[in-house]
Amino acid sequence: MPKITIVETGLISPEPRARHGSFPQMFERMIRAADASASFATVRLADGEGLPDPAGLEAILITGSSAGVYDDLDWIAPLERFVRAAYEAKVPMVGICFGHQLIAQALGGTVHQSERGWGIGRHVYDVVPDNGVIDGERIAIACSHQDQVIEPPAGATTILHSTFTPHAGLLYENGAVLSVQPHPEFTAAFAHLCCEIRQGSVPETLVATAKDSLEQPLDHADLGRAIARFLAKPRKS
């Protein structure tokens, strides 16, 4: 298993972080459950740490964030350049939620707030057959987002979709980049907390339905294994 460099683009506030871990810690747990040999380095971009040269990295994972990819933050443009350089070097790279959107935007796609509003709780996505990465016909994963990839970049194929999120998973033509909108790294308890955070800003019925949905099984382990396999692929020449 290559060393995975996690680019931390969002910070969890101290109290929930003490209970559930940081985003990098969540991903480490998810990937080690699939491959105990996995090792990690973290770039704390949200804390101001600089990005390395992606060509020297073995594998990359870009986390979620409360930021929007269109926000006027001084680290967004450097991260887009990092993504483009990693894409050209064909470094195995995965983006989750914000990471999914940032990769799409960096490579020419369109991202903005969806007219469908907030997606929270357990969502079920259709899996495009024979995509080579994610198995099965449907997959149920927790999500927490308002922004979406509205138009994927040229060369990106949609492999996960739903009525609410038409481009929930993208596989890129260089064969080394995968991104998904939902959060397979979340536990059900943390996904429940994400629903509670939305109380007062979204309809109460949506929060209640989302909480109830998390009582049903989640396929996080299946998607976690698919991501671990993808990041372990040898770099393409």
Residue 97 among the catalytic residues = yes
Dihedral sign (CA 200, 201, 205, 206): negative
Residues 67 and 76: their CA atoms lie apart, in Å, by: 10
Nearest-5° angle of CA 30, CA 31, CA 32?
95
Give me the catalytic one of 185, 194, 195, 220: 185
Give me the catalytic one of 97, 143, 194, 195: 97
Residues 164 and 148: their CA atoms lie apart, in Å, by: 10
End-to-end CA distance of the chain: 18
Residue 183 among the catalytic residues = yes
Crossing angle (nearest 10°) for helices 188-197 and 204-213: 180
Give me the catalytic one of 145, 183, 192, 220: 183
Q: Give me the active site residues, please.
A: 97, 183, 185
